[in-house]
Structures are given as structure tokens and as C-alpha cells.
Structure 1
Amino acid sequence: MSTRRMLRKTSSLIEDAKLVTQRNHADNENQQPVSIQEFLICSTAQSDKLSLSFVAGCLENYEIKIKILEGKNGKIHPPKDDNCWEQVYVSCECSLSHLTSIEKTITEAYSLTMKRLSSLDNARSFHHEVQWFPKCAADLDLCQHLREKPDADRITDEHPGFQDPDYAERRRNITEIAMRYKHGDPIPSVEYTNDEKETWRKVYSTLRPLHATGACLQYLNAIDELETCGLYSADDIPQLNDVSEYLNDRTGFRLRPVAGLVSPRDFLASLAVKVFQCTQYVRHHLSPMHTPEPDCCHELIGHVPMLCDEEFAIFSQEIGMLSLGVCDEDIEKIASLYWFTVEFGLCKQDGKIKAYGAGILSAYGELEHALSGRPQLVEFDCDKASVQPYQDADYQPLYFVASTFKDALFKMRDYAAKTIKRPFDATFDASKTMIRTQTKRSAYDITRAVEQIRSQVTALEELII
């Protein structure tokens, strides 16, 4: 039996993210993105105290949109007129180049000082335009940016079905189900052919004995239950709608049919709203242990059982949450984290190394290789995993090993707090099954809130006296 590995669904996830970054950089090379900027203009010994009208006049020569212009003194109560502020807080929409020009004018022409509030807290600074992202599963109807069109013409000479027009047509007919699918519809069933069922049987029957010694306990428990309830067996290919309903009852995740590789940003965003995008077509029957494209053998055997585990489902969703609204460079890092955990992660259980990554659990050769003692094994570290070079044409030379899923989750949260930059906080409202966002409060916002509280306390103290 060939031990050649099976290529996985995300074999291009990191590379796709890099290509998107390069393309967007090229598109924006001569464009300056506009974003919210906050800064303080401060008076000096050489300058008079500020007025709001003076600051507005300084800014009107620049292409900016002023949102807030507010005077601030070192005392609780404001002055009686507009001409004696010690500082003026400005919130505006402008590009970074305009912000630099404003700072130069303020300091050189008017002998004032300017403090960019983002510099007070680097972890909360952001210099990219926030792209739209889905906030509920229904929004995924707008997230169908495929890496390539699922046409027969896209099958290359490297594909086992390159010279099989019947397979190409069959694949296209199945992907049309995903192209027509809308949120809330039941996922249409596929009447699989005998060749497709035989391909599934070979893959499933080959992998299951290896799982007994190589898979983590969470995977074994989940797939045993899937078999016990009749959803999984070597004899038939599970239907996505049945599996989706079962999965939703277990951890709140759902499946959604997809026509092929979606963009990394869309794929990760779907995890945030607890949806896993899943193909329905099967690899070519002449090459059951190898596929150059995503297929349901990888999705259903590799990913679904792990998503039945509550802790792992939370971990997968939070990777998706990290991706919402971040810049292209951060998408690359998050895609790499996904690759070395959800796809190719190993963990320690009872003193032994076990597999939990779908790319390992759904690939006969990769599973043997990962546990052979030949590849390098290192402790899971987000800083390293987010930039670790990957291998998509052969077995992985290096795997990250997590002590527990909970430990990996805590490490990822710490990494996000210090690394991922965006102007809002995102949380998942489980009762409404939707993403809620809240604008991050700047240093000046917090200062204003503290001053208001102090003012209220002072007023109460005067009443007591």
C-alpha cells in the first residue's frame, strides 16, 4: 500500500494568505488608507493656551474628517471660555501621511507638542483599514471568495482526474450544490456512486486501525460515538446535513457546503461564527490515498470528530475570532497557527505523543510519519508557530506539541493580547449566535472616564459636608 501522504484542505491556506497580502500591497502601493487617529495637541511654555477654533483652523488645510475636538485642562472643571485649554483632544479620520504632516506643522510652525495616543499603548495601535467580516452564520452567504473557480477546466495535469471527463463533470455537479446553498437551507444530500463509496471505504478502513494507537483520546471518543449512532461507517459516506445536526447538538458548530478552497480570511471567519466549511465531493477513485484538492474524506474523517469535543471546538472558534478585521499580515500568522494546530497538531496524553490535527488523522502516511520519531517535535509556542516555515509538498519536518487543548488556548489568548492589533474587541454572543464588537477605548477615553468619576465623588463629598 502506498504511504504517500494525502494532500489536505489547507495545503494552500498559508500560501493563499501570503498571496493575498502581496496582492493587496500591490493594489495599495500608491494609496494611503484612512483610519481613525487620536492625538493630543498640548501647549508649551513658548505658546499661549489653546483654543478649539485655533486647532480647527490648523487642521482644515488637511484632508481629514474631524470626529471629536475637545478641550482638556489639568483640573476637573472646564474654563469659562474657549481660549485657555492646556490640551486639545482630536479624533479624526486621516491617513498616516497626513498625520505625520500635521505633527510637523504643529511642532515646527506653532511651537506646540503633539502626542499620538496610540503610542501610549502599542498593543492597541492599528494602522490598517478594517475589512468587513461576518457577524453571524447568515453572513457567510457573502463569504464565497473561492481561491479558484470549480470548473473542469481547473483540473490540471497533476490531478488524478485530469484525463477523466466524467470525474470532472461529476465534481462540478457536486460543487454546484455549494454554489447554490444559502444559510438556513438543509444541506442537499448527494447520491454517491459505487466508485465514490469504494474510495471512502478504502480510506476509512485503512485509517481506523491506525487511529487506535495514534489518535488523541478526544478523537477516539468522538469517532466511536459517530459510529455507534450510525452516522459513520466504512460502508457509506456520511451526508453533511446529518453530520451538521449531530455536531450542532454537541458543540454548536455546523457544517456548510463549500465548492473548494475559500480565501483564508473567509475560511477563518467562518470558524468565528461556529461554521466549518466542508466539501461534498470525493477524490478520484484511482488514487484513494492522495488528493491535490479538498474533499469530504479529509473533512469528515479529519476535522469533524475533533469538532465534537467541546474544548477543541472552543479552540477552533477562537482562532477564527482572532482573524476578524485584522490586517493581511496578521491573517498570514493566524493561518500558520491554524496549520500547526488544527491541521498538524500533536499533543501529550499519558506520557505519549498523540495526533489531533486533521491533516495527520486523515492521512495514512502523515500519521505514520508524525509518530515515527523522525520529525522534530517542539513545545507549542504561538510566537514560533505563527512564523514557522511549513511544508505542503511532503511530510512535515516539524510538529508543535501541546500539553493540553486548554493550555494551547491560554497561550493563544496571550499571543492575541500582545500581537493582534485592531480597533475593536470582538466577543461571541452564544445566546444570539452572533459576533458582537465594541470599540476599544483609548488612553484618553479612560482618562475622561476617571475624571468624571472623580467629579461625581467630589460632588457627593460636598453634599455630605
Structure 2
Amino acid sequence: MYLNSIFKSLSRFSYIKKNFSYENLQDVEIITRDYWGSLRNILKSFSNHKINLTDIEPLKLSRTHKGQNIVVKLTFEKVEDKKYNELIYDLQQRYDQVLINNDMSVPSVPWYPRTDEDLKTIGTIMEVNEENNQDHPQFKDIEYRKRREEIAKLSQAHLVGEPVPYINYTEQEEQTWKKIYTILREKVNLVMSQRYLNNFVKIENALGFKYKIPQLRDIDAYLRAETGFRIKATHGILSQREFLNALGHRVFCCTQYIRHHSTPEYTPEPDIVHELVGHVPLFADKEVADLSQELGILSCGAKKQDLSRLGTLYWFTLEFGAYKENGFIKGYGAGIASSIGECDHFPKAKYEKFDPFIHADRSYPIQTVQPTYMYTESFDDAMQSLIIFGKSLQKPFGLYYDFIDKELKSTRRIKTHLNDQ
């Protein structure tokens, strides 16, 4: 059977079961001649023995003098010995090359959290290289650092699914919030898209952003009700892999401390202003939330180079993205909305048409305003281009999120490792 016919047959003979444990998956590889009906005959053996397949991967081998051969990798749940032995005997009678438990063929990929239990490791096992302005008062003020670490310690102890720690913010911290929020509130109206503003106003009215620093516990409840996103309080900057992997579980890792009071217009690291004014209105939007989770799932098990490219695309879209709205380029990224400098710079900046296949390898500054913003003709164009790029990544297994079990499940057996993070 030729490959185009093979793929047409897949939907008729297999489906992904929604409640298996991938530790119990079994791989079998079969090499056979490529003829009309070859795959159908293989699948018939599984059907006869009433064994459900979770993944099928047919590949052409190089052409030989005997004709074209294909290798078919099939993955299914382990069954009782009798049924399993009968299947293998059947296959071995039909095909000369049947490979069983070939561990060399089991993909080995970087570790990723599969369950909420695994998410407890966030911020504990992966190294982070921060690129911050160490001369900023945020790093030199001893009293500020003591207070920041006090909040960070509470945040780091928070586990996904538990109530987010309540922070008793000081009067100085509340004043810092009011000062920066009052300024940003005026500026976002000028540069941000209506899509962002609609969500922002809705949250602002629901949680009283104008009057005090909102508690992440309330933000968590709000997002759960709107889009199913959850909050994980965290102590500071996470590794790119951890942050993106968490998004795959519809979890947003969020700081609780606030920037230094002497320079409320600028912070060298993410703080609660950046998180709440910038990111939360996006996670409250269903389409953006869904896309964020898809990017997160793509990052799980991704090799280092692909992970870096996904992180760069996240930067150029959900952090600093823009698109045309009523003929004008407007921002939607969190980094624009939460920064006075970016808001002021945005109207006079350079713009470049977004192409993920080009910009995935583009470098960008972290401690200065962005020299160029990437834009698309519409918000939907940005989303579609990211989806297309994601499909181009070569991953040796498929992943989907089970919303009932709150678990990322693999379509085939894999091994994970902690190298190449």
C-alpha cells in the first residue's frame, strides 16, 4: 500500500484511547512489502485479537531490487499473556520481520511533567541563567531583597491545586502598585488591541485592580472559571523549559512580589505588575489560553534546539506580539502592556511581518525595549502561523492533555532523561 493510502486508512482502524498509562504501552515493528492492502492486513490481525492500537507510524524503506518495503511501528496497551502471545504468533506467521520490545527503538526525550504531582518539581531541578541588571536597586537594596525573599519563599512552597498563599502587602507596596497601575492604565488604552482591553476591563472590574494589589488566589479562581487556567505561585524566573512545560498543563507560573518602589516605571525581572497587567488578560481569553497550552504541549519532550525556538516565538507573540486592528498596528503581548517604556516606544518603533519559520531563530534583547515588534494582519493569523510551525516540529511521539485526569498522555512508549535541559 502506498503511503497516501496508508494514512487514509488510519482513521478507520485506530483511535487513541483516553485512559491508558503510557508505562504499559507495547511496541511492535513489522517490515513488509509495500502493496495495496499491506497495512490493512496488519491491522486486521489486531482487530481479530480485539487489541486496540494507540499509535501507528508507517515509514518507507529504501527501494530494493525486490520492490519497496515499509516498516510499520505499532503501539498498543499490554494485554494478558494469552492474547498477547496469540497476536505475536499470528504476526510471525504472516511476516518474516517482527521486532518485539526493541528498546533501542524507544524514543528518549527530555523529562517533562506528566501530572500535577510532577509539577511539584517546578523551580527545583532545572538551572536558570538570569540576565539582569545587577546595579538596579531591586538587587542592591538589602531591605527590599529581604522582603522579596520572604514572599518568594512562600510562593516557592505553593503546590499546584492548593490555595495560593495570601500575601499581606505593605503600605509601600500598595502605593507602588497604585502608582504604576495608574500610569499603565492610561497607556494601554493607546497601544493595546481591543481584544486585550476587553479582557482587561472585565478583570479590572471583577477584582478591583484599581484599588489594591490583587491576590493570586483570586486570580486563580477567576481564570479557572473563565478558561480553566490555573496559577502556580513561583519564587522568580524559571527555566524556559519549566515555564513552557507548565503551560502544557494549563498552568501559569506567576510571581507575587512587586518591583522596587524607587523605580516603579521599570523592573529588571518579572513581578506581579507584569504578571497581572500583562499576562492574566491573555490567559482569560479562551483562544489565547488554548494556544498557550498548545505551545506548552509542544515544548514537552522537545529537544533543546526546538525548545529554544518555541521560547523565541512565545517572546515575539504572547510577550511582545502585535497585529493590525482597524488599519492600525496594536499590541497584545504581555511585555508591552506591563511596561511604560514599551508602551511609549511602541508607536514609534519598527515593525516586521511575523514569520515563525524566520523569527524562531532571531535573537532579542531582554533588558531594553524591543527594537522591532513582529505583527500579523490579524490575531487569528498569528495563532494559525504558530500552529503551522508547531506541526513542522519532528517529535517521535504525540501528546495530548487529559482534562479529567489532569495528565499529559503519550501516544507511544518513551523514555525520559534529565540531560539536554
Alpha-carbon deviations, 1:21-80, whole Å to 9, x = none? xxxxxxxxxxxxxxx99795999889xxxxxxxxxxxxxxxxxxxxx999999xxx738x
Runs of 4+, deviation exceeding 6 Å: 36-39, 41-46, 68-73
Q: Which residue of 2 aligns with 1:226?
A: 203
2:158 pairs with one of 181, 194, 200: 181
2:358 pairs with one of 358, 363, 384: 384
Task: Give the match's secondary structure for 1:436.
Answer: strand
Contact 1:39 1:91 in 2 (8 A): no
Pairwise CA distance, 1:281: 0.5
Superposed, which structure 2 residues align to 1:397-408 within 5 Å?
A: 397-408=371-382
Q: Which residue of 2 aligns with 1:135?
A: 114
Pairwise CA distance, 1:249: 0.5
Residue type of the partner of 1:366? E
1:168 pairs with one of 145, 148, 167: 145
1:92 pairs with one of 74, 99, 102: 102
1:346 pairs with one of 313, 322, 330: 322
Q: Which residue of 1 aligns with 2:217?
A: 241
Pairwise CA distance, 1:305: 1.0
Alpha-carbon deviations, 1:123-143, whole Å to 9, x = none? xxx9x7312212233421022
Is 1:199 the counterpart of 2:176? The answer is: yes
Is 1:144 the counterpart of 2:144? The answer is: no
2: CA distance between counterparts of 1:341 and 1:406? 12
1: CA distance between counterparts of 2:259 and 2:145? 11
1: CA distance between counterparts of 2:321 and 2:192? 11
Alpha-carbon deviations, 1:101-122, whole Å to 9, x = none? xxxxxxxxxxxxxxxxxxxxxx
Pairwise CA distance, 1:434: 2.8
Contact 1:129 1:327 in 2 (8 A): no
Q: Which residue of 2 aligns with 1:366?
A: 342
Sequence identity percentage: 35
2: CA distance between counterparts of 1:349 and 1:130? 41
Q: Which residue of 2 aligns with 1:103?
A: none
1: CA distance between counterparts of 2:340 and 2:196? 16
1:260 pairs with one of 231, 236, 247: 236
The verdict on how the C-alpha distance between 1:216 and 1:42 changes in structure 2, with shifts beyond 3 A counting, is closer
Q: Which moved more, 1:326-335 or 1:424-433?
A: 424-433
1: CA distance between counterparts of 2:134 and 2:381? 44
The verdict on how the C-alpha distance between 1:44 and 1:140 changes in structure 2, with shifts beyond 3 A counting, is closer
2: CA distance between counterparts of 1:428 and 1:346? 29
Contact 2:29 2:98 in 1 (8 A): no
Residue type of the partner of 2:410? T
1: CA distance between counterparts of 2:200 and 2:387? 29
The verdict on how the C-alpha distance between 1:71 and 1:222 changes in structure 2, with shifts beyond 3 A counting, is same
Alpha-carbon deviations, 1:279-330, whole Å to 9, x = none? 0011111111111222111111110011111111111111111101110111
Is 1:428 the counterpart of 2:401? The answer is: yes
The verdict on how the C-alpha distance between 1:144 and 1:216 changes in structure 2, with shifts beyond 3 A counting, is same
2: CA distance between counterparts of 1:253 and 1:404? 24
Task: Give the match's secondary structure for 1:330.
Answer: helix
Contact 2:132 2:367 in 1 (8 A): no
Pairwise CA distance, 1:275: 0.7
Contact 1:426 1:436 in 2 (8 A): yes
Tell me how many residue pairs correspond in the alignment.
338
1:306 pairs with one of 282, 288, 306: 282
2: CA distance between counterparts of 1:258 and 1:334? 22
1:356 pairs with one of 332, 335, 343: 332
Q: Which residue of 2 aligns with 1:21?
A: none
Contact 2:313 2:360 in 1 (8 A): yes
The verdict on how the C-alpha distance between 1:138 and 1:347 changes in structure 2, with shifts beyond 3 A counting, is farther
Superposed, which structure 2 residues align to 1:95-106 within 5 Å?
A: none
Superposed, which structure 2 residues align to 1:62-141 within 5 Å?
A: 78=94, 85=96, 92-94=102-104, 129-141=108-120
Pairwise CA distance, 1:90: 7.5
Q: Which residue of 2 aligns with 1:439?
A: 412
Which segments of 5 or more consecutive residues in structure 2 lack a partner in the other structure? Answer: 1-26, 32-60, 67-86, 415-421
Cα RMSD (Å):
3.3
The verdict on how the C-alpha distance between 1:215 and 1:155 changes in structure 2, with shifts beyond 3 A counting, is closer
The verdict on how the C-alpha distance between 1:70 and 1:45 changes in structure 2, with shifts beyond 3 A counting, is farther
1: CA distance between counterparts of 2:98 and 2:63? 9
Pairwise CA distance, 1:271: 0.5
Superposed, which structure 2 residues align to 1:277-356 within 5 Å?
A: 277-356=253-332
Q: TM-score, length-normalised on structure 2?
A: 0.72
Contact 1:175 1:280 in 2 (8 A): yes
Task: Give the match's secondary structure for 1:293.
Answer: coil
Task: Give the match's secondary structure for 1:181.
Answer: coil
Contact 1:130 1:326 in 2 (8 A): yes
